[in-house]
Chain A
Amino acid sequence: MELVLMILAGGTMLVLAVIAGQSLGWANKVFHVEIDPRIEAINAALPGANCGGCGCVGCMSYAEAVAAGTIAPDKCTVGGTSCAEAIAKIMGVTLKPSWPYRPVVHCRAHYNERLGRADYRGEKSCTAANIMGGVQLCTYGCLGFGDCVAACDFDAIHVVDGLATVDYDKCVGCGACAKVCPRNIITMTPFKSQRIIAVGCSNQDMGKDVKAVCKIGCVGCMACSKASPLFKMTEGKIPRINYDEYDPENMDSALVAVKKCPVKNLIYVGKPSPQDVAEVKDKDLPKIVQVDFKTTIDKTTWQG
């Protein structure tokens, strides 16, 4: 008797499924709307994650926008290069070469280079410390509380001796660290080669003021901008690199600028080149010491 009831229940579902499937199939034919076949092709080429990373509501609306020509075909971050190529093929356009964007931390001061580091006992987050003020004298540099570390889903950024350091082997360029940094010292930069030259400071003050807060900050001497057209001084007395004109094959003037910098502020970031690895192979490198927040750091007690 129970079996009959079970069959009845199953039969109900089956009948409903058949009716619904048939009617939906019929409706799909009867209510068919002619749309641009390219939209459907693009939608098929997209990953269908509906993540909104491209700036559209979903994959379908992105496909419509691409077909309408209002958005570039390489905006899908999930699909990546292969997806962009497929869409470009459907649209009959060629893609501009795009470089991988990776974060660059525009600060290179570790604890011993920063001056006036205060005893901060508040919440251990850069955002909170930034609101407080006075945690360290430099109001531009890295605070080292690791908001970027918490934001990173890929374990690709770490605070090493008080400075956020990107692990370019693991980094995928999602930009979460750049968004979360309260001092905006992390920028997403096109890596035209494995290693690029970057400016390792964000301090926009004049030389004397910088020297008062940091041992290695940029003093704004403009030596780099005089040596190479690649470097442009901003109003804030800090050089910016024009990465549009950055050419890894033709770096002569830039290398001169790197040599001329009095505080060695122009640094290489990215994966080390094979030569560099070969150079330091035999050397006994100091181990990176994990910061213990309970111990004394730069002569002030630190209790996070």
Chain B
Amino acid sequence: MNYIASLLVLAITTALINNMVFHFFVGNCPFIGVSRKVDMAFGMGAAVTFVTTIAAVLSWITTYYIMSPGAPLATWIYRALTHDPSKVSDLSILSYIVYIFLIAWAVQLVEMYIRKFFPALYKAFGVFLPLITTNCVILFVCLEIMKHIGQGASDPWGLDKALVYAFFAGAGFLIAIVIMAGIREELDHCDVPKSLRGPGITLIVAGILSLAFMGLTGVDSNLAKMINRKPPPVEETAQAVTAATTAMK
């Protein structure tokens, strides 16, 4: 499979098929909490996409150079300290705390930057920007990227793939929350039974949406097959044609 095609398949898989909300059930808190209006939902989704991408880059760098089993920087220091060139360091136990730390740091920095240079955007994001610190989509993306780094990873990812994965994970969250907000805006005009109003009917709608997204399963493998399909070799075709014609005779 060529490079662009593999990235394309990864992007579609992440955004639509293995959607963060509908497939992995992460990020449900903002998904329910901020999906009342479409514009607010779009703001939240955009902020999550933005922070996820930044956090994924940071976590890829730290994981690749320091935390993964056999990471170059950590292993070099480990060997230098123990004077044993056969040692391999493994600091992956630190992953959770370091990722949370990096996410919080990135959110703080982004908040300050936006506040200084884009006051209107800062006003629009309002309270959501600090809330993203505890959004589990971001931590999930970081941990998912960690699985694909280091020795022993079956499908090692470079920074490019991590970046695509993170961006489209955020985009998938954005798609999910905007669809949800659109439905909920219409839901306001519906005659919902009193006992189901509010979060109850929202969760039911989320479940139905999740079922709908299950219909996309298989698109990725078929897409990969389509891209991968090689034209059959010429000799084989010729032989097949002769065989077919002899059979017809």
B112 within 8 A of A: yes
A9 touching B81 by the CB < 8 A rule? Answer: no
A32 to B112, CA, bound (A): 8
Encode contact with A along B102-132: 1 for CB under 8 Å, 0 otherwise: 1001001100110111010000001100000
A57 touching B127 by the CB < 8 A rule? Answer: yes
Q: Contacts A5-B89, A20-B101: A12 and B74 contacting too (C-beta < 8 A)?
A: yes
A58 within 8 A of B: yes
Which chain A residues (234-248) contact chain B, with CB distance < 8 Å? none
Q: Nearest Cβ distance between residue B120 and chain A, in whole angstroms?
A: 13
B94 touching A9 by the CB < 8 A rule? Answer: yes
A28 within 8 A of B: yes
A8 touching B78 by the CB < 8 A rule? Answer: yes
B98 within 8 A of A: yes
The 6 closest A-B pairs by CB, nearest first: A31-B116, A31-B112, A20-B105, A27-B112, A4-B81, A4-B82
A63 to B90, CA, bound (A): 48
Q: How many residues of B contact A (CB 8 A)?
A: 29
23 contacts between A and B (CB under 8 A): A1-B87, A4-B82, A5-B78, A8-B77, A8-B78, A9-B93, A9-B94, A12-B67, A12-B91, A13-B97, A13-B101, A16-B62, A16-B98, A16-B102, A17-B101, A20-B101, A20-B102, A20-B105, A24-B105, A24-B109, A28-B112, A31-B116, A58-B127
B66 within 8 A of A: yes
Q: Nearest Cβ distance between residue B223 and chain A, in whole angstroms?
A: 39
A128 to B116, CA, bound (A): 54
Which chain A residues (1-33) contact chain B, with CB distance < 8 Å? 1, 4-5, 7-9, 12-13, 16-17, 20, 23-24, 27-28, 30-33
Q: Contacts A13-B94, A13-B97, A23-B109: A33 and B74 contacting too (C-beta < 8 A)?
A: no
Q: Nearest Cβ distance between residue A191 and chain B, in whole angstroms?
A: 36
Q: How many residues of A contact B (CB 8 A)?
A: 21
A57 touching B105 by the CB < 8 A rule? Answer: no
A33 to B113, CA, bound (A): 10
B105 touching A4 by the CB < 8 A rule? Answer: no
A7-B81, A12-B94, A13-B97 are known contacts; what are 6 more A-B pairs with Cβ within 8 Å? A5-B91, A8-B77, A8-B81, A13-B94, A31-B112, A33-B115
B116 touching A33 by the CB < 8 A rule? Answer: yes
B127 touching A8 by the CB < 8 A rule? Answer: no
- B contacts with A: majority SS: helix
Q: Contacts A4-B82, A57-B126: A12 and B98 contacting too (C-beta < 8 A)?
A: yes
Contacts of B87 in A (CB 8 A): 1
> Closest residue to B122 on the A side, CB-wise?
A33
> Closest residue to B66 on the A side, CB-wise?
A12
A32 to B117, CA, bound (A): 10
Contacts of B94 in A (CB 8 A): 9, 12-13
A17 to B104, CA, bound (A): 12
Contacts of A17 in B (CB 8 A): 101
> Closest residue to A11 on the B side, CB-wise?
B77
Q: Contacts A12-B91, A24-B105, A33-B116: A1 and B82 contacting too (C-beta < 8 A)?
A: yes
Q: Nearest Cβ distance between residue A58 and chain B, in whole angstroms?
A: 7
> Closest residue to B112 on the A side, CB-wise?
A31
B109 touching A13 by the CB < 8 A rule? Answer: no
Which chain A residues (104-140) contact chain B, with CB distance < 8 Å? none
A8 touching B91 by the CB < 8 A rule? Answer: yes
Which chain B residues (55-108) contact chain A, with CB distance < 8 Å? 62, 66-67, 74, 77-78, 81-82, 87, 89-91, 93-94, 97-98, 101-102, 105, 108
Q: Nearest Cβ distance between residue A61 and chain B, in whole angstroms?
A: 8
Contacts of A8 in B (CB 8 A): 74, 77-78, 81, 89, 91
Contacts of A13 in B (CB 8 A): 94, 97-98, 101
